[in-house]
Amino acid sequence: MGKVLGRDELKTALSSARSEGKTVVFTNGCFDLIHVGHIRYLKEAKGLGDVLVVAVNSDKSVSVIKPGRPVIPGVHRAEVVSALEMVDYVTLFNEDTPYELIKFLRPDVLVKGGDWRKEDIAGHDLVPVTLSLPYIEGASTTEIIEKIKGVKTAVLM
């Protein structure tokens, strides 16, 4: 079994981990261009439990919340995230938020980046512990894309 799983496979893997007394940490995001903010955030998330699950927004889901995106296709983003050592499992989701997935998986800890207020995190009402981890200033995919666009424009002039 690889690290990128469908919902049912993931539920089975998490049931097995829980039977061993392991704590499941869940987070989600687009992960369009991996940067230092993602790495620090995922390391910290992993430190909150034993098993880190990352739900990656599908292309359809990203396009709803971030017009003009994603830059990288969902299956590629999932593969990149799954290659990170701190990540145990990855799954894709099509909905605008991972609420139903969180309801289905029932993680022990739910985390998002510091640009999210706890009460705005989808699923905070379903999970015993919900945390908003520190935001890394200057580390955002949108900022990186804007910088690239600016460089491209300057080169073409």
Q: Token digits for 89?
A: 């499992």
Following CA atoms 135, 136, 142, 144 in sequence, which dihedral angle do they give, to the nearest 10 degrees? -170
Distance CA 93, CA 100 (A): 10
For residue range 17-44, what is the model confidence (pLDDT) as tens digits? 999 999 999 999 989 888 888 899 999 9
What pTM was computed for the model?
A: 0.86
Distance CA 33, CA 71 (A): 8
Q: Which pLDDT band, with edges at 50, 70 and 90, does 11 fall under?
A: very high
What is the CATH number that goes with domain 7-156? 3.40.50.620
120 contact partners, CB below 8 Å, separation of at least 6: none
Element of type H or E holding 124: none
DSSP string computed for 101-114 = HHHHH--SEEEE-T
Contact 130, 98 (CB under 8 A): no
In this predicted structure, the answer to whether residue 100 has a pLDDT above a threshold of 80 is yes
